[in-house]
Structure 1
Amino acid sequence: MLRLEHINMVVTDLDQSLKFYHAAFPHWRVRGSGSMDWYGKTKKWLHFGDDYFYLSINDGGEGENRHLKGHSVGLAHIGFVTENLAALIKRLADAGFEVDHGGESKFRNNAYYIDPDGFEIEFVEYLSDLPAERNGYE
């Protein structure tokens, strides 16, 4: 069996990123942290997640993230499943983050955010347990 274990991200402000992701995932924790030399530049890093999945967040990022409405190669978005989209939206709003766009359909609702470094993050709530309905491409 294969499964995704972590996503490694380079950011400009570790604290702002942690604020966003902690609001989205209040049950996660900083599993470990430290600093290291990365090709001549000292950077701080942390692993934020649970026992099975985490985000590796590294500071020291330079420049801008890819333009999300453009056609450049790069990450388009990261998607996470939630059981309660309304509660997640409220937690993020309380932390100062607003929905960028989203939608509702018969079998799923979603909300997209732009995190502090320009990564697009999708949160989806499925309203059916049937794969044919959850994964409909109408």
Structure 2
Amino acid sequence: MTTHLEHANFTVTNPEATAKWLCDVFGWHIRWQGGAIDDGYAIHVGSDDSYVAVYAPPVAPQKATRSRYRTIGGMNHLGVVVDDLDATEARVKAAGFTPINHADYEPGRRFYFVDGDGIEFEVVSYA
């Protein structure tokens, strides 16, 4: 049996701004955008076979107040595989984010960053 992850869905402050930096940093494109659950708005941004849905309700969402690593059901981070880790890190910095926790161990090199909504991303290269 072959399976793959199709998408992840996150609540963000501003779907348009988040979609823009996701496209700029990872080279993704907007697959769909429009009205979503509870009168909110969502944008699906990614590749042709997988994506991240970024969603905002009609009233400003609230930020989590507890550590994601200590909250059952909380998302710890989203991992993204890239071909060129150094070039992606440069785009992460250009987008205004600070790369942290650089590591080089089998099976690949990686770093992390946290976006403006507190979502942590792991960027890894197996090249």
Report TM bin, short chain: 0.7 to 0.9
Q: What does residue 12 of structure 2 align with?
A: 11
SS at match of 2:97: coil
CA contact (8 A) 2:110 2:124 kept: yes
The answer (yes or no) to whether the contact 1:20–1:97 under 8 Å persists in 2 is no
Contact 2:32 2:44 in 1 (8 A): yes
Name stretches of at least 5 consecutive residues in structure 2 with no aligned partner.
none
On the 8 A contact 2:15/2:56 being kept in 1, the answer is yes
Change (3 A) 1:22 1:48: same
* 2:46 is the alignment partner of 1:52: no
* Pair 34,78 (structure 1): closer, same or farther in 2 beyond 3 Å: same
Offset of 1:37 from its aligned partner?
A: 5.1
% identity of equivalent residues:
28
Q: Kindly provide the CA deviation profile for residues 6-55 of structure 1, in whole angstroms up to 9, marking residues without a partner as x.
A: 111111111331233122211x21111112451xxx21111111210011
Q: CA separation of 1:107/1:36 partners in 2, compared to 1, >3 Å: closer, same or farther?
A: closer
Residues 1:36 and 1:105: Cα distance change in structure 2 (over 3 Å): closer
Contact 2:31–2:45, Cα closer than 8 Å, also in 1: yes
Match of 1:132 in 2: none
Number of aligned residue pairs: give it. 122
- Measure, in 2, the Cα distance between the counterparts of 1:13 and 1:24: 17
TM-score norm. by structure 1 comes to 0.78
Post-superposition offset of 1:4: 0.6
Structure 1: 5+ residue runs without aligned partners?
128-138
Which residue does 2:25 correspond to in 1? 24
The runs of 4+ residues in structure 1 deviating greater than 6 Å are: none
